[in-house]
Amino acid sequence: MVQFCKKKYKKNKINFLLKDIDKFKISNCCIISSFYTIQFISPKKRQMLINKIFKGLNWGGAFFMVEKVRGPDARFQDMLNQVYIEYKLSQGFTESQIISKSKSLKGILEPFSTKGNLDLIKRAGFKDVITVFKYGSFEGFLAIK
Ligand SMILES: C[S@@+](CC[C@H](N)C(=O)[O-])C[C@H]1O[C@@H](n2cnc3c(N)ncnc32)[C@H](O)[C@@H]1O
* Three-state secondary structure call for residue 109: coil
Q: Is the pTM of this model over 0.75?
A: yes
pLDDT tens string, the chain, 145 residues long: the values are 999 999 999 999 899 999 999 999 999 999 999 999 999 999 999 999 999 999 999 999 999 999 999 999 999 999 999 999 999 999 999 999 999 999 999 999 999 999 999 999 999 999 999 999 999 999 999 999 9
The pLDDT of residue 91 = 97
CATH architecture of the domain with range 27-144: 3-Layer(aba) Sandwich (3.40)
Q: Are 20 and 5 in contact (CB under 8 A)?
A: no
Q: Are 74 and 67 in contact (CB under 8 A)?
A: no
What backbone torsions phi and psi does residue 36 show, to the nearest 5 degrees? 55, 40
Ligand 1 atom at minimum distance from 22 CA: 19
Q: Which ligand 1 atom is at minimum distance from the Cα of 24?
A: 20
24 lines ligand 1 (CB under 6 A): no
N-to-C CA span, the chain: 30
Neighbours of 67 (CB within 10 A): 23
Q: Whose CA is nearest to atom 14 of ligand 1?
A: 37
Pocket test for ligand 1, best of 25, 33, 40 (most atoms within 8 A of CB): 40
Q: What is the pLDDT of residue 53?
A: 98
